[in-house]
Amino acid sequence: MSTVNTMRAISQDVLGGPEVLKQVEVERPRPRPNQVLVRVRAAGLNPTDWKHRATGGFLGEPPFVLGWDVSGVVEAVGIGVATFKPGDEVFGMLPYPFGHGAHAEYAVAPVRALTHKPSVIDHTQAGALPLVSLTAWQALVENADLQPGQRVLIHAAAGGVGHVAAQIAKARGAYVIGTASAGKHDFLRGIGVDETIDYRETDFAEAVKDVDVVLDTLGGETSLKSLRVLRPGGLVVSILPVGSEDLYTEAERLGVRALRMLVDADRAGMRAIADLVGQGKLRPTIARAFPLADAAEAHALGDTGRTTGKLVLTVD
Ligand SMILES: NC(=O)c1ccc[n+]([C@@H]2O[C@H](COP(=O)([O-])OP(=O)(O)OC[C@H]3O[C@@H](n4cnc5c(N)ncnc54)[C@H](OP(=O)(O)O)[C@@H]3O)[C@@H](O)[C@H]2O)c1
């Protein structure tokens, strides 16, 4: 039971499988200048959560509380915060990677990481959106400057990033080609994908060509192979930022472009995402929502890499 100074959080003392996660009672954070304390109502889960749980990733050794997605209600604001007041409903992404800590009853966010939650979606939906939507927005709009009529190939289009990227690309007026196993093709068509590829049966590099932009959510061989489906001057944006330099040399050799990126917390991007939600052009699909205490179960499902849409933790 939390007291006024404490809160429940999902923490771990060692690296490992989902079983290392446990619910603990920790001190409730306080907002410092230009920070907002959010009473978390929902927090999305992302592959980076399972990767950090297992390997420590950017964070090193535990203990730590994971979670970058947040949707909730402003509990308190630090000195200088003019944009929000207690009671406001907000959502956003905590700075990646070191701002983590949303898988808890309360989280502190820099004011610029947040924006107001659109009233047309609930907290579970809003908590699912930030990290994947910012990733897709920064990849397709900020980096690739996707234009109406352009052809975009989205790998793993039924995944967390892919299913919002497909909707953002459609909202930009692009022609969207998406890969997924065959059982997910109806889902892809439902979110507006124009052309589907069953990656288990068909080699995408043989099936598509003259692509303007590839969103590479898989990395490795897929990054290199994706270069071959581009039109001259086309761009592969890979969100698996660690990889060999071969990608750049091969891109240059083929007369195309490649870049690797990490998502960056940003209010302008969150506002653009909130606008798309408000216009009915972007909705997350919730694969499953779990109460905070069942975070380990959610991680185990996420670890499979087979979910459609998003996993979310909800906090009562
Ligand atoms: N750089 C960054 O800032 C950044 C940001 C966000 C995510 N990421 C990374 O991007 C990757 C994707 O993230 P996510 O949230 O979208 O993951 P996710 O939701 O776990 O992706 C699951 C989806 O991947 C599909 N999939 C698996 N293998 C596939 C393949 N070979 N071809 C096509 N689809 C395949 C699955 O569909 P099937 O069941 O049909 O196989 C499933 O629907 C992760 O590695 C994540 O860490 C990086």
> Which residues constitute the domain of residue 79?
6-129+284-314
- Report if residue 277 sits inside a domain: no
Ligand 1 close to Cβ of residue 263 (< 6 A): yes
Ligand 1 close to Cβ of residue 199 (< 6 A): yes
Ligand 1 close to Cβ of residue 133 (< 6 A): no
pLDDT greater than 60 at residue 183: yes
- Report if residue 124 sits inside a domain: yes
Q: Can you tell me the mean pLDDT for 254-280?
A: 97
Q: Can you tell me the mean pLDDT for 3-15?
A: 94
What's the confidence (pLDDT) of residue 1? 55
Residue 157 CA to ligand 1 center (angstroms) comes to 8
Backbone angles phi, psi at 262, to 5 degrees: -115, 140
Ligand 1 nearest-atom number relative to CA 157: 34
Claim to verify: residue 104 and residue 20 sit in the same structural domain:
yes
Q: Can you tell me the mean pLDDT for 109-132?
A: 98
What's the confidence (pLDDT) of residue 296? 98
Claim to verify: residue 121 and residue 236 sit in the same structural domain:
no
Q: What is the CATH number of the domain that holds 289?
A: 3.90.180.10
Claim to verify: residue 105 and residue 150 sit in the same structural domain:
no
Q: How confident is the model at residue 244 (pLDDT cuts 50, 70, 90)?
A: confident
Lowest mean per-residue pLDDT among 94-98, 184-188, 219-223, 227-231: 219-223
The rounded mean pLDDT for the chain is 97
What's the confidence (pLDDT) of residue 7? 98
| Entry field: residues in the chain | 316
Claim to verify: residue 137 and residue 239 sit in the same structural domain:
yes
State the total domains in the chain.
2
Ligand 1 close to Cβ of residue 158 (< 6 A): yes
- Report if residue 20 sits inside a domain: yes
What's the confidence (pLDDT) of residue 213? 99
What's the confidence (pLDDT) of residue 4? 80
Ligand 1 nearest-atom number relative to CA 199: 32
pLDDT greater than 70 at residue 192: yes
Q: What is the CATH number of the domain that holds 149?
A: 3.40.50.720
Residue % of the chain over a pLDDT of 70: 99
SS3 191: coil
- Report if residue 271 sits inside a domain: no
- Report if residue 279 sits inside a domain: no
Nearest CA to ligand 1 atom 30: 156
Cβ neighbours for 211, distance < 8 A, ≥ 6 positions apart:
151, 152, 153, 177, 229, 230, 231, 234
- Report if residue 273 sits inside a domain: no
What's the confidence (pLDDT) of residue 245? 78
Cβ neighbours for 174, distance < 8 A, ≥ 6 positions apart:
146, 147, 148, 149, 150, 151, 152, 212, 213
